[in-house]
Structure 1
Amino acid sequence: MNKGAFCFIACLWVTVSSAATENDTVYTPVVLWHGMGDTCCYPFSIGGLKSNIEKALPGIYVVSLKIGKNIVQDLENGYFMHPNKQVEFVCDQIKANSLLAEGFNAVGFSQGSQFLRALVQRCPEAKMKKLITLGGQHQGVYGLPDCAGLNSNTCDYIRRMLNHAAYYGFVQNNLVQATYWHDPLNEDMYKKYSTFLSDINNELSINDTYRERLINLDKFAMVKFLNDTVVQPVESEWFGFYEPGQAKIVMDLRSSAIYEQDRLGLKQLDEQGKLDFIEVEGDHLQFSWPWFKKNIVDTYLSD
């Protein structure tokens, strides 16, 4: 989501230098997927973060995904290109990139988080090793309190569409955010008519392939922003959500049916010590480069 897209400016306040002139370490490639309202390559957001990772880990290959032919399309597609098509588009990019053929780690930002998860579930050529998500909406959202910095008229229009018509076919097909709208007051409608999130969360039936591919991850780490004003409820960033039938009481992942029934293999990942929960102070995607380097680069990307 865009509120955090421009918070990556903080990442550029610190200059990263190589600790040695020679480095024989061969790092696993990294794939980045930006959030709504951002693009692959803005130097003050994902583009700058990509550059900093490359400086911190000399020689590493980093891909910041561009969904479309140019930055303008990339930005627009974050709102209007159905996630199923986006995942197919990225799957084709992965297939065509020989440098990713032996595997890669992936970092998702906001809605890019659940899109990367769908990629590993649906794309056999995407040999993902570690999945790190920051501010993702793994159980969807119910509410859009801060509409990613759009002008007020557009933001109000999106809110109205989601609140009153999220599960209409034309809305699902034409507004990305509707595809991960999760109405706890209408669980049956969500499960039946969500054209993206319900599927990748195995809501109506168990897709064993989805489950097995997640279990095969070496690590699945989720970052929650404690003061998030974009994702509602914020617990969705750790796979938590409202108890069905109301929108006040929130269940954490381990209390939910998706965990207890192990529909996605998350319980198995947890029991194997491969599921990490990370929290950070700040609003949506607000973090500094030193924090990101210590908690993400050094912890998950440096091997």
Structure 2
Amino acid sequence: MGCKTKTLIVLLIALLIVIYKWWKPTAGGTNPDVLPVVLWHGMGDTCCMPFSLGAIMSLIVEQTKGGYVRSLQIGGNPILDWQSGFFIHPDEQVEWVCQQLLQDERLAKGYNAIGFSQGGQFLRAVAQRCPQPPMRTLISLGGQHQGVFGLPMCPTLSQKSCDYISRLLNSAAYSEEAQHNLVQATYWHDPIMENHYRLGSTFLANINNELYLNTYYVENLQKLKKFVMVMFLNDTIVQPKESQWFQFYTSGQDRIIQPFNESKAYQDLHLDKMESEGKLVFLGIEGDHLAISKEWFIKNIVPLLLEK
């Protein structure tokens, strides 16, 4: 074994030790007066790294004076958790998460949820499909609720892998292979071929009630106290960025954004009712995708977590 190989092995072992030292999917739990918080990470991330959601967990515990926080780890280890963002169908992930939340006794009386990027629409699926334990407030940070039509960057993957995903989405997003094997294909929304999208999307078209009207989804979504959508105003990742506010291109082209209240999902999910009741909250933040400062989070998100 060469010297370079030995060095790489030592560095890898050291990295794994650091990861497992910081890898804590739950935190806090001593303050019963604050609703628990559930987090779901986005593509290319994991539940608990100290420079991403691990830091968010610590910040929430600090700001809620010991509130219970659970950051969802999909699968049984960090590798599966990372892979889930690309290769485990959202339906499988949502089903698994629903069972995990139901078994967590600390969530029995309700919880608030924060989804990061695609974790935002995944948690909305949890709210619609799994009313127990009850989700109170859903906060979507950069979630793509009307899908995406463009993938300019895929962080943490090689350029070759990124290029392959982009080609697959552009040419065969609604093929059985893509829908089964690639998470991003399940919320790829082609506005030029709307019928292909509605018939081919195996996740987003379903949770947006675009195939048939699922009244169970509507009833459960209405149970939310608030549905908070945060859009990153200078986003270069999500196309179009307005998807983060549940908007999308007008059918047949990819330039003009359709008004929120004219979309099919607005009517079929009864978002109109939620809007009239003041349950929908739209926040904008300057910066690129998920570029959130500690100060902004404390000012805009923490008060939502402290509401009774």
Same fold by TM-score, threshold 0.5 exceeded? yes
Name the structure 2 match of 1:205.
212
Residue 239 of structure 2 aligns with which residue?
Answer: 232
Spell out the pairing of 1:1-303 with structure 2 (5 A cutoff): 26-259=33-266, 262-303=267-308
2:3 — aligned with what?
Answer: none
| 1:235–1:252 Cα contact (<8 Å) kept | no
- Distance in 1, Cα, partners of 2:96 & 2:150: 28
Tell me how far apart the structure 1 counterparts of residues 103 and 90 of structure 2 sit (CA, whole Å): 20
- Per-residue CA deviations over 1:175-207 (Å, capped at 9, x if unaligned) read 000000000011001101100000000001110
Aligned to 1:11: none
TM (norm. structure 2) is 0.88
* Larger RCO of the pair (alpha carbons < 8 Å, separation 6+): 1
Residues 210 and 264, structure 2, Cα contact 8 Å, conserved in 1: no
Could you tell me whether the CA contact under 8 Å between 2:41 and 2:47 is conserved in 1?
yes
Corresponding residue SS for 2:301: helix
The letter of the residue matching 2:275 is D
Question: Quick check: 1:30–1:301 contact (8 Å CA) kept in 2?
Answer: no
Q: Which runs of 5+ in 2 are unaligned?
A: 1-29
Which amino acid is the alignment partner of residue 195 of structure 1? T
Q: Deviations along 1:122-158, whole A, 9 cap, x unmatched?
A: 1132310000000000000001012224221111000
Q: Check whether the contact 2:40–2:123 (CA below 8 A) recurs between aligned residues.
A: yes
Cα distance in 2 between the residues matched to 1:112 and 1:181: 15
Kept after mapping to 2: 8 A contact 1:111/1:137: yes
Q: Find runs of 4+ consecutive structure 1 residues off by over 4 angstroms.
A: none
Could you say if the C-alpha distance between residues 179 and 126 of structure 1 is closer, same or farther in structure 2, counting changes exceeding 3 Å?
farther
Question: What is the alpha-carbon distance in structure 2 between the residues aligned to residue 95 and residue 166 of structure 1?
Answer: 33
Asked whether the equivalents of residues 247 and 258 of structure 2 are also in contact (C-alpha less than 8 Å), the reply is yes
1:277 alignment partner AA: F
Question: For 1:185, what is the secondary structure of its paired residue?
Answer: coil
1:95 CA displacement? 1.2
Residue type of the alignment partner of 2:126:
L
* Shift in alpha-carbon separation, 1:24–1:207, aligned structure 2, 3 A: closer
Please state how far the C-alpha of 1:287 moved relative to its aligned partner. Answer: 1.1
Structure 2 contact 109–133 (Cα < 8 Å) conserved: no
> Partner amino acid for 2:224?
L
Q: Provide Cα deviations, 1:195-225, integer angstroms capped at 9, x if missing partner.
A: 0000000001110010111111100000000
Distance in 2 between residues matched to 1:204 and 1:85, nearest whole Å: 20
Deviating more after overlay: 40-49 vs 140-149: 140-149
Deviations 1:227-262 (A, max 9, x none): 000100000000000000111111131232322xx2
**Structure possessing the higher radius of gyration over alpha carbons:** 2
Mean CA deviation greater in 219-228 or 250-259? 250-259
Alignment-mate amino acid for residue 278 of structure 2: G
The 8 Å contact of residues 212 and 265 in structure 1, kept in 2 or not, is answered as no
1:255 and 1:122 mapped to 2: Cα distance?
Answer: 25
Q: CA deviation at 1:71?
A: 1.0
Same amino acid, percent of matched pairs: 55
Q: Which runs of 5+ in 1 are unaligned?
A: 1-22
Q: Is the 8 A contact 1:35 1:109 kept in 2?
A: yes
